[in-house]
């Protein structure tokens, strides 16, 4: 990276994070954010405390990432699943705390999976496993997890993610619709999951399901067929019903 020393830029970034959230992040989170070269993940103004778009994915601002990570409270040696890996920055910060081989990440956008792998490798975290997968299904072959971080809004936590938590585990999700979302940390109990901590409001896109990633066809069959029929026009040739057969002439 040309220009100012990245270490100094990260220190300035973390000063801005503290100002934005009104406190210092957890010591482990702050130390990890000091070490991760964010410029390997974010192309435009990587150390500015602002969100952005890259490769069709929402990039969390450093302050928002810190709030998610504080709520997650990862510990060394913990097994962590990141749902919605995006550019891979959050997974890298978690890897600094728990160890890269302990981090598993999924994304439903194949393009983002490739970008995250490239970014993580360039930053020295190639041991993080990044897989193409529907995040709502979790990653059962590597479960159970001590921590699960979801970077897509949900109304209620997907059952599969709850089931893949260890009994003393923690699931962090932005819960709610539209602009009415709150970062919530939940732990398992007999009824499912129980909120234990909130970390402020946020506005993220909904957690996608298979077929809803950018550029994919419409999932709903009726809606898709109605749209295609409208585009073709009423008299468009659509199939066998246009093949008029006069059986008397056969």
pLDDT tens digits along 21-38: 999 999 999 999 999 999
- For the cut 60, the answer to whether the pLDDT of residue 231 exceeds it is no
pLDDT averaged over every residue in the chain: 83
- For the residues 45-72, what does the mean pLDDT come to? 91
The string of pLDDT tens digits covering residues 59-113 is 999 999 999 999 999 999 999 999 999 999 999 999 999 999 999 999 999 999 9
Residue with tokens 């299904």: 137
The backbone torsions φ and ψ at residue 172, rounded to the nearest 5 degrees and listed phi first, read -115, 125
The backbone torsions φ and ψ at residue 174, rounded to the nearest 5 degrees and listed phi first, read -85, 115
- Short-list 227, 186, 221, 178, CA closest to 203: 178
Work out the pLDDT band at 128, boundaries 50, 70, 90: very high
- For the cut 90, the answer to whether the pLDDT of residue 195 exceeds it is no
- For the cut 60, the answer to whether the pLDDT of residue 223 exceeds it is no
Work out the pLDDT band at 197, boundaries 50, 70, 90: low
Active site residue 61: yes
Work out the pLDDT band at 178, boundaries 50, 70, 90: confident
Work out the pLDDT band at 17, boundaries 50, 70, 90: very high
- Helices 89-98/27-35 angle, 10° precision: 120
- For the residues 198-222, what does the mean pLDDT come to? 55
Work out the pLDDT band at 221, boundaries 50, 70, 90: very low
- 103 burial (CB, 10 Å; 0-12 / 13-18 / 19+) is buried
- Which DSSP state fits 218? P
Q: 92 with 238: CB under 8 angstroms?
A: no
pLDDT of the residue at 161 = 93
149's CB contacts (< 8 A; 6+ apart) are 68, 69, 72, 80, 81, 82, 83, 90, 94, 172
SS3 label, residue 212: coil
- Which DSSP state fits 137? G
**Catalytic position from the list 51, 61, 156, 201:** 61
SS3 label, residue 205: coil
Classify strands 165-177 and 180-189 as parallel, antiparallel or unpaired: antiparallel
- For the residues 128-141, what does the mean pLDDT come to? 94
The answer to whether the pTM exceeds 0.85 is no
Sorted by where each starts, the structural domains of the chain and their CATH numbers stand as 6-214 (3.40.50.150)
Work out the pLDDT band at 55, boundaries 50, 70, 90: confident
Distance CA 180, CA 123 (A): 34
- Tell me what percent of the residues of the chain surpass a pLDDT of 90: 58
Kindly state the tokens that stand for 193.
């999951």
Work out the pLDDT band at 191, boundaries 50, 70, 90: very low
- Short-list 97, 58, 59, 57, CA closest to 77: 97
pLDDT of the residue at 222 = 39
pLDDT of the residue at 163 = 92
Distance CA 123, CA 118 (A): 9
């Amino acid at each position: 990276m040309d220009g100012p020393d990245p270490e100094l830029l990260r220190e300035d970034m973390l000063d801005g994070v503290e100002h934005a959230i009104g406190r210092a992040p957890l010591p482990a989170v702050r130390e990890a954010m000091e070490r991760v070269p964010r410029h390997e993940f974010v192309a435009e103004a990587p150390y500015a405390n602002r969100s952005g778009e890259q490769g069709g994915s929402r990039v969390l601002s450093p302050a928002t990432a810190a709030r998610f990570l504080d709520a997650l409270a990862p510990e060394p040696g913990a097994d962590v699943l990141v749902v919605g890996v995006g550019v891979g920055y959050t997974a890298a910060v978690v890897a600094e705390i728990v160890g890269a081989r302990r981090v598993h990440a999924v994304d439903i956008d194949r393009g983002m999976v490739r970008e995250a792998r490239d970014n993580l490798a360039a930053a020295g975290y190639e041991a993080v496993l990044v897989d193409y997968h529907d995040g709502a299904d979790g990653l059962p072959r590597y479960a159970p997890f001590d921590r699960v971080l979801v970077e897509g809004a949900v109304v209620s936590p997907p059952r599969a993610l709850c089931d893949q938590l260890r009994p003393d585990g923690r699931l962090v999700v932005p819960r709610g619709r539209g602009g009415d979302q709150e970062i919530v940390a939940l732990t398992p109990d007999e009824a499912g999951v129980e909120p234990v901590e909130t970390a402020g409001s946020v506005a993220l896109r909904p957690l996608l399901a298979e077929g809803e990633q950018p550029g994919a066809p419409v999932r709903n069959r009726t809606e898709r067929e109605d749209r295609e029929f409208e585009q073709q026009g009423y008299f468009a040739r659509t199939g066998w019903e246009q093949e008029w057969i006069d059986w008397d002439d056969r």
